[in-house]
Structure 1
Amino acid sequence: MESQPDYLDILKWAYREYQDEIVYACSFGVEGIVLIDLISKVNKKAKITFLDTGLHFPETYELIKKVKNRYPSLQINMVKPKNSLEDQVKWYGDELWKHNPNLCCHMRKVVPLQEALAGAKAWISGLRREQSPTRSKTEYINKDEKFQKIKICPLIHWSSEDIMTYIQLNKLPYNPLHDKGYPSIGCAPCTKPVSNPKDLRAGRWAGLAKTECGLHES
């Protein structure tokens, strides 16, 4: 029987196929840390994009500094929205994320990623099938209708235990909030700790009928 590709095969293929026209959009969660380490073994000068909404936890920004020091040759780009938080307040009022979170995510994450991917043919994501029902059918290689790119997801078969084992074995830095009940970490106002560790996305937009920021919806 023909063997199936693994995560490193997928990454090697992706960088061979797309070369400089591929970007890794990293949120710097635990999956992100694993992927950064794996990518550094395949392409030491890979392009990494972080969507800096201006609303992330201090722990997230501190982690990014550590990662930059550990992998100095990676091209880690902090992408900010064109509209400042002050502009957002002026146009839409205080705390837009409370009364229209979809608009807030669109302005501060979706549009900046569209711009960051403008010159790319493909992008890499750390999606895993176990994370949520909406991600359960994710493939290694996906046609991304939203951004009109190819989306590559090398970690689809990894479990949370696999992720943490890899981090511990390789002594990688990671966000300390993961040890405080935050399995998924996004913007600070919209991320809460969870009581059920099996519901990995429950802390994102808690109490709202929303589980995705819009980056991974077709």
Structure 2
Amino acid sequence: MTKKEILAFAESELHRELFPLELLEILAEKFPQKVCFSTSLGIEDQLITHFIFKNEIPIDIFTLQTGRLFEETEQLLEQTQNKYNQKITVFEPNQTKVEELENEKGKFSFYESVENRKECCFIRKVEPLNRALENYTIWVTGIRAEHSENRQNMPLFEWDEAHQMLKVHPLLHWNFEDVEKRINIYQIPYNPLHDKGFVSIGCKPCTRAIKEGEDFRAGRWWWENSSKKECGLHQ
């Protein structure tokens, strides 16, 4: 399917206020074996995973094992797969590149500069992501507009020029209470760190709990003075 045809599909769906489950089903039907979902095992991603697995929607799910995840995140991966008796594909970084970086700059070079941090993110996240997205047409994410200032104007459907594919954000206009309510109703497993003030959970050295009144993304790369803190997965 061409870019023009994919964008025409997106345009045709914009006027419809679809529940995320309905949207996922439509995507899987319209683009068979060409839809993937990337999960970081955050609370939003757990809800989307539930929709896909519980309803047996033919959408492939993958996650990135950066090598620096919280133990709670790794345990949640196993717990989720066991609950639904389904497989989440794991992509890991190129170990040679990881070793080269750590031997040259040490294990914590990302604290020294934004450039170093983005280099680490590229090796541990972006390059594995690029491999994970190969051969797909649609990339589903768990992004919500509330996540950060630069995500508030994101469209439901957006063309990813770098990967030549359509990104779809089914929960874009949901608030945290919407997500949390359904996590409880459906009894979906979630990361216990969420109950300890961790709202956005990434690699352990780069994530902390936020304080009352702080921005949603304040716990990610908190030592950097920037209003746009991203790892390169969503630009």
Residue in structure 2 matched with residue 211 of structure 1 by the alignment? 229
TM-score normalized with structure 2 length = 0.86
The percent identity for this pair of structures is 35
Which residues in structure 2 correspond to 1:104-143 (within 5 Å)?
Answer: 104-143=120-159
Residue in structure 1 matched with residue 168 of structure 2 by the alignment? 152
Residue in structure 1 matched with residue 88 of structure 2 by the alignment? 76
Q: Which has the higher helix share?
A: 2
AA aligned to 1:103 is E
TM-score normalized with structure 1 length = 0.92
Return the alpha-carbon distance in structure 2 between the equivalents of residues 125 and 135 of structure 1.
13
How far has the Cα of 1:198 moved from its partner? 5.7
Cα contact 2:111–2:223 (8 A) shared by 1: no
**Number of paired residues?**
215
Return the alpha-carbon distance in structure 2 between the equivalents of residues 8 and 159 of structure 1.
16
Which residues in structure 2 correspond to 1:1-218 (within 5 Å)?
Answer: 4-73=17-86, 75-83=87-95, 85-99=98-112, 100-196=116-212, 199-208=215-224, 209=226, 211-217=229-235
How far has the Cα of 1:80 moved from its partner? 0.1
Larger radius of gyration: 2
Q: Which sections of structure 2, spanning at least 5 residues, go unmatched?
A: 1-14
Decide whether aligned partners of structure 1 residues 184 and 197 sit closer, same or farther in structure 2, where only a CA change above 3 A counts: farther
2:81 is paired with a residue whose SS is: helix
Q: CA RMSD in A?
A: 1.7
Return the alpha-carbon distance in structure 1 between the equivalents of residues 188 and 171 of structure 2.
17
AA aligned to 2:70 is F
Return the alpha-carbon distance in structure 2 between the equivalents of residues 146 and 183 of structure 1.
28
